[in-house]
Amino acid sequence: MHPSECPSYDQCKSPLCPLDPNPGHIWYPDEEVCHMRNPPGWVRKQRKIARLPQIDPDRYFTIPMLQAIRRVGRGLRGANAEVLSTDKGWLARRQPGQVYGTSTPDISRLPEKLTEIQEDLRQLEQMSLFR
């Protein structure tokens, strides 16, 4: 892909761009999304996430995170912006083929969620931001 393929490339304010030669940025659900026609699948997922009514705008997504999501739905959460490198933890907790953000609550994941929250708290404590 080349910047000439997107008429909005020079004015675009989206932090994640399929034409970016150095991807590695983060995107929050209340930020701009790419307007390219026929975008990659991760951009289409971004657009769906941005429309979710109860998505947490303070949790971010990266391109690898968006690529790992199979279906966008209620309950989907991004990585914790208060903890460094949580996108790697977010990806590590996912299993291949797992559906994220399903519309039916899965109480079997509650112990996993508790562990996830405890891990985030430990990381915050190590950063001396939360005591």
pTM of the model: 0.67
Calpha distance 78→89 (Å, rounded): 11
Per-residue pLDDT of the chain (131 residues; tens, 9 = 90+): 667 777 788 888 899 988 887 777 899 999 999 988 888 999 999 999 999 998 999 999 999 999 999 889 888 888 888 775 677 777 877 755 555 544 445 566 677 777 877 787 777 777 765 44
Report which of 55, 92, 58 is spatially closest to residue 75, judged by C-alpha positions.
Answer: 55
